[in-house]
């Protein structure tokens, strides 16, 4: 990873885990373990945990984010939360377009684009998730799929806004399955995304873009993945729920 060009970002995606009390416990366990991190440390928590997690992380190097937001500021959207609401409660980051949202909750490239736009407008940092299904990899169309997902999500995003976007390449077949992409596979797709950013915005923008890998990243495989030149961090699901495991990944990114 080229730290002179871009900081590593290790983000936990807690998914639908932890009550507010449990969130505070986990954040408090994490604080001493990651306090000397030489990378950005983020925890993306369930909506109901945001307030407690933000309070617990105050004054530390742990940043707190959410896992989704709606594109409208307010209105008749039962069950949704707007980007403005996240900002108002003190969230700094939001994950957009996670494959579980796409597969289980009907998110698609166009809604991902709208959510991204809204999050940027609200002053949030976006962790934009892209990634192929196993069948798509087997058909040899991984690069095309990821390029299209990225291109649509970034429609209307200006170059100067890119500093507020992180892209997370997450092959769907590697999420929560224990199957990790090899370091070479991860780097190949991350590089294809960086090449797309160069095409769309220029080489300087591509060099500055933080592109994570996600999908069964853990304490055992993080170092090899993070050593790849185009892997600038990780989006961590399962291994973010245990302070010790997560802190080992943070330590690997800090080397």
- Positions annotated as catalytic residues are 98, 170
Counting contacts by CB under 6 A, is residue 197 touching ligand PGA?
A: no
Q: Does 233 bind ligand PGA (CB under 6 A)?
A: no
Q: Please select the residue that binds ligand PGA; options are 123, 176, 202, 229, rule is CB under 6 A.
A: 176
Applying CB under 6 A, the span of 75-83, 134-142, 184-192, 214-222 interacting with ligand PGA comes to 214-222
Q: Which is nearer to ligand PGA, 206 or 225 (CB)?
A: 225
- Using CB under 6 A as the criterion, what x/- string covers residues 101-140 for binding ligand PGA? ----------------------------------------
Please report, for residues 166, 189, 215, the alpha-carbon distance to residue 145 in angstroms, rounded to integers and kept in the order given.
Answer: 18, 10, 17
Where do runs of H (alpha helix) occur along 125-253?
A: 134-138, 142-153, 183-201, 203-208, 222-226, 243-253
217 binds ligand PGA (CB under 6 A): yes
* 186: contact with ligand PGA by CB under 6 A: no
**223 burial via Cβ count (<10 Å: 0-12, 13-18, 19+):** middle
* C-alpha–C-alpha distance, residues 127 and 50, integer Å: 17
Cβ of residue 60: shortest distance to ligand PGA, in angstroms? 22
Is there a contact between 183 and 228 (Cβ–Cβ < 8 Å)? yes
- Least distance (Å) between residue 77 CB and ligand PGA: 24
- Applying CB under 6 A, does 237 fall inside the site for ligand PGA? yes
Query: Which of 131, 171, 215, 233 touches ligand PGA by CB under 6 A?
Result: 215
Footprint of ligand PGA on 5-44 (CB under 6 A) = 13
* In contact, 67 and 15? CB cutoff 8 Å: yes
The candidate with the shortest Cα–Cα distance to 61, out of 33, 89, 87, 26, is 33
Tell me how far CA of residue 117 lies from CA of 125, 135, 200, in angstroms: 11, 30, 17
Which residues, other chains included, contact 138 with Cβ-Cβ below 8 Å and sequence gap of 6+?
Answer: none
Interface contacts to ligand PGA, rule CB under 6 A? 13, 170, 175-176, 214-217, 235-239
């Amino acid at each position: 990873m080229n730290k002179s060009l871009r900081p590593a970002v290790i983000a936990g995606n807690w998914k639908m885990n932890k009550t507010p009390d449990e969130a505070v416990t986990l954040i408090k366990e994490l604080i001493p373990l990651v306090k000397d991190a030489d990378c950005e440390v983020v925890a993306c928590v369930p909506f109901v945990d945001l307030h407690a997690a933000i309070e617990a992380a105050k004054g530390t190097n742990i940043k707190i984010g959410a896992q989704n937001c709606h594109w409208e500021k307010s209105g008749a959207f039962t069950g949704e939360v707007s980007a403005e609401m996240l900002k108002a409660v003190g969230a700094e980051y939001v994950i957009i377009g996670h494959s579980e949202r796409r597969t289980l909750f009907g998110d698609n490239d166009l809604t991902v684009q709208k959510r991204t736009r809204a999050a940027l407008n609200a002053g949030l940092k976006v962790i934009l998730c892209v990634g192929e299904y196993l069948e798509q990899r087997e058909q040899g169309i991984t690069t095309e799929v990821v390029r299209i997902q990225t291109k649509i999500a970034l429609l209307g995003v200006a170059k100067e806004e890119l500093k507020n976007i992180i892209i997370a390449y997450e092959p769907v077949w590697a999420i929560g399955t224990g199957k990790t992409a090899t370091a070479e596979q991860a780097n190949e797709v991350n590089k294809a995304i960086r090449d797309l950013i160069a095409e769309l915005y220029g080489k300087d923008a591509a060099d500055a873009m933080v592109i994570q890998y996600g999908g069964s990243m853990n304490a055992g495989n993080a170092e090899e993945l993070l050593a790849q030149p185009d892997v600038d961090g990780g989006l961590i699901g399962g291994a973010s729920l245990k302070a010790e495991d997560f802190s080992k990944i943070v330590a690997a990114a800090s080397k």
